[in-house]
Structure 1
């Protein structure tokens, strides 16, 4: 096997299928807290909604944290790497335009996990949206503005 970096080795042989549910996670470059600003966080949310409107994925639950996001989706078309490349690229452009910054916003790569059992879905969605509580950012989930789930 060629000596690829770990992020590329994770992708080798990975099978992605439409209508499968995935949890996607990615971090900001150097884990900078870019999305402490509600306005900037909403620019990422706009990309989640755009992906849904364009038929790439159905968003089931998501949370934008200061330095990363979790996005629970049902993939509709294309690949996860195409979806993430689009989402990261367009959100970078939007944040850079809003702030006057230049350069990368996100770390290379992303983490994905395919759900294997239907009963995992609601539990995983709760995990996603409760991230701000576990991080100590809020005392009640309703106090955190950058999350959503189809069950709410």
Structure 2
């Protein structure tokens, strides 16, 4: 039996280049999702969840990108991010995954890995309001039945919260 000939390397390279360009438009707002390796509920452990939140809330991992909202579920991180000029989505997510992997204890990693391969992304449509998308995003713990009130869930934030208000 003869196996089909794989695509020529230049074809694969062009496909990847076009895909990366489509996924990384500076100034565009994206919904992102990163799952733990094997979708393990690592962040049921408060210490692991707090470690990821500490890295996440620092400004330097995001550089000139803006995190509008995020939620850390037991088995994934989801965010609403406006991409800055200096990074691609792949670079930004890769940096986040690397920093957070190092922040959690070894026992939460499998062979050194905390996060699964890749990530999911969806560009926010022009008719979608970022605040509405953020509300939906941070409502995930309620829809998942993790809490009865959003205020009872500790691992989320939005850019629209009043930092001085209670």
Q: TM-score range by the shorter chain?
A: 0.7 to 0.9
1:21 and 2:42 aligned = no
1:35 and 2:25 aligned = no
Spell out the pairing of 1:1-152 with structure 2 (5 A cutoff).
Answer: 2=7, 11=19, 14-50=22-58, 52-53=59-60, 55-76=63-84, 77-97=86-106, 99=107, 101=109, 102-117=111-126, 119-152=128-161
Task: Mark the runs of 5 or more structure 1 residues left unpaired by the alignment.
Answer: none
Task: Mark the runs of 5 or more structure 2 residues left unpaired by the alignment.
Answer: 1-5, 162-166
Structure showing greater Rg: 2
Root-mean-square deviation (Å):
2.5
| TM-score of the pair, normalised by structure 2 | 0.77
Q: CA deviation at 1:57?
A: 1.8
| TM-score of the pair, normalised by structure 1 | 0.84
Aligned partners of 1:85, 1:100: CA distance in 2, in Å? Answer: 18
Q: CA deviation at 1:41?
A: 1.1
Give 3-state SS (helix, strand or coil) of 2:133's partner: helix
Aligned partners of 2:112, 2:124: CA distance in 1, in Å? Answer: 33
Aligned partners of 2:108, 2:121: CA distance in 1, in Å? Answer: 31
Contact kept, 8 Å, 1:33 with 1:67, in 2: the verdict is yes
